[in-house]
Structure 1
Amino acid sequence: MSDNFLFLTSIARTISNLAFLSSSLLGIILIFLTLFGVRKIFETYKYLMIAFTFFGISFTCLDALFHPKLHFYNSGCVFFALSCPFGLSLEIIQAMLAFYASFYCLTISMLTIQFIYRYWALFSIRYLKYFRGWKSVVWVACCLLFGASWWMLVFFLLKMDAIARNYFKDEIMLRYNAIIDEIPAKTSLPFDPNNGNLRKWDALYTLLTTLSTVLQYMIMIYCGWKMYTKMEEKVALLSDSLKNHHRQLFKTLVLQISCPTIFLFSPIMLSIYLPYCQMKISFPADVFFTAYNIYPAMDSTIVFLTITEYRFAAKRWCSKTD
Structure 2
Amino acid sequence: MVIYFAATGIFFSAFELVARPFAHNYTGALMFFSLNTDQRFIILSQLAIAIWSGFFTSIISFISIQFFYRCLCLFGGEAARKFDRLPSIIWMGYPLVIASMYAASVYFFCQPDEDSDEYLRNEILRNYNMDIKTIPRFIMRPYDINGDLRWRNIGYFATGLFLIGFHYLVIIYCGLIMHFNMKHELEKFSIPQRKIQRQIFKALILQCMGPTLFLILPAVPLLMSPLIPPSLHIQISWQTGWLYSLIQIFPPFDSIAFMIVVVEYRRVIKKQFSRGTPKNSSIHPSGTGLENDISHIM
Using structure 2 for the length normalisation, give the TM-score: 0.86
Q: What is the CA-CA distance between 1:79 and the residue it aligns to?
A: 0.4
Rounded to whole Å, the distance in 2 between the matches of 1:228 and 1:309 is 22
Q: Which residue of 1 aligns with 2:273?
A: 318
120, 129, 132: which one pairs with 2:84?
Answer: 132
Task: Figure out how many residues of one structure are paired with residues of the other and give that number.
Answer: 273
Rounded to whole Å, the distance in 1 between the matches of 2:79 and 2:130 is 54
Judge conservation of contact 1:76–1:190 (CA < 8 Å) in 2. yes
CA gap of 1:58–1:136, structure 2 versus 1, over 3 A, is same
Cα RMSD, aligned residues only: 1.9
* One-letter identity of the residue aligned with 1:296: P
Deviates more, 1:155-164 or 1:234-243: 234-243
Judge conservation of contact 1:129–1:135 (CA < 8 Å) in 2. no
Q: Which residue of 1 aligns with 2:235?
A: 280
Does residue 108 of the first structure (1) align with residue 63 of the second (2)? no
Q: What is the SS of the residue equivalent to 2:142? A: coil
Q: Which residue of 2 aligns with 1:49?
A: 2
Deviation per residue, 1:26-67 (Å, 9 max, x gap): xxxxxxxxxxxxxxxxxxxxxx11111111011111113332
Rounded to whole Å, the distance in 2 between the matches of 1:246 and 1:286 is 39
Does residue 97 of the first structure (1) align with residue 49 of the second (2)? yes
Q: What is the SS of the residue equivalent to 2:143? A: coil
Rounded to whole Å, the distance in 1 between the matches of 2:260 and 2:141 is 43
Q: Which residue of 2 aligns with 1:80?
A: 33
248, 272, 282: which one pairs with 1:293?
Answer: 248
Q: Which residue of 2 aligns with 1:251?
A: 202
Q: What is the CA-CA distance between 1:288 and the residue it aligns to?
A: 3.1
Structure 2 portions without partners, runs of 5+: 278-298
Q: What is the CA-CA distance between 1:271 and the residue it aligns to?
A: 2.7
Q: What is the SS of the residue equivalent to 1:77? A: strand
Deviation per residue, 1:126-180 (Å, 9 max, x gap): 2213311112232134222211111111111110011110011111111111111
Structure 1 portions without partners, runs of 5+: 1-47
Rounded to whole Å, the distance in 1 between the matches of 2:208 and 2:195 is 20
Does residue 226 of the first structure (1) align with residue 177 of the second (2)? yes
145, 151, 170: which one pairs with 2:122?
Answer: 170
* One-letter identity of the residue aligned with 1:319: S
Q: Which residue of 2 aligns with 1:161?
A: 113
Q: Which residue of 1 aligns with 2:12?
A: 59
CA gap of 1:192–1:135, structure 2 versus 1, over 3 A, is same
* One-letter identity of the residue aligned with 2:13: T
CA gap of 1:226–1:317, structure 2 versus 1, over 3 A, is same
Rounded to whole Å, the distance in 1 between the matches of 2:194 and 2:273 is 28
CA gap of 1:295–1:89, structure 2 versus 1, over 3 A, is same
Rounded to whole Å, the distance in 1 between the matches of 2:225 and 2:167 is 21
Q: What is the SS of the residue equivalent to 1:236? A: helix
Deviates more, 1:226-235 or 1:270-279: 270-279
* One-letter identity of the residue aligned with 2:243: F
Deviation per residue, 1:241-293 (Å, 9 max, x gap): 21111111111112222333222223334332221114311112224312222
CA gap of 1:83–1:283, structure 2 versus 1, over 3 A, is same
7, 10, 24: which one pairs with 1:71?
Answer: 24
Q: What is the CA-CA distance between 1:191 and the residue it aligns to?
A: 0.2
* Percent identity (aligned): 28
Rounded to whole Å, the distance in 2 between the matches of 1:141 and 1:241 is 31
Of structures 1 and 2, the one with the larger relative CO (CA 8 A, separation 6+) is 1
208, 213, 229: which one pairs with 1:262?
Answer: 213
Rounded to whole Å, the distance in 2 between the matches of 1:270 and 1:124 is 40
Deviation per residue, 1:205-235 (Å, 9 max, x gap): 1111110110011101111111111111111
Rounded to whole Å, the distance in 1 between the matches of 2:216 and 2:174 is 17
Q: What is the SS of the residue equivalent to 1:97? A: helix
Q: Which has the larger radius of gyration?
A: 2
Rounded to whole Å, the distance in 1 between the matches of 2:181 and 2:23 is 42
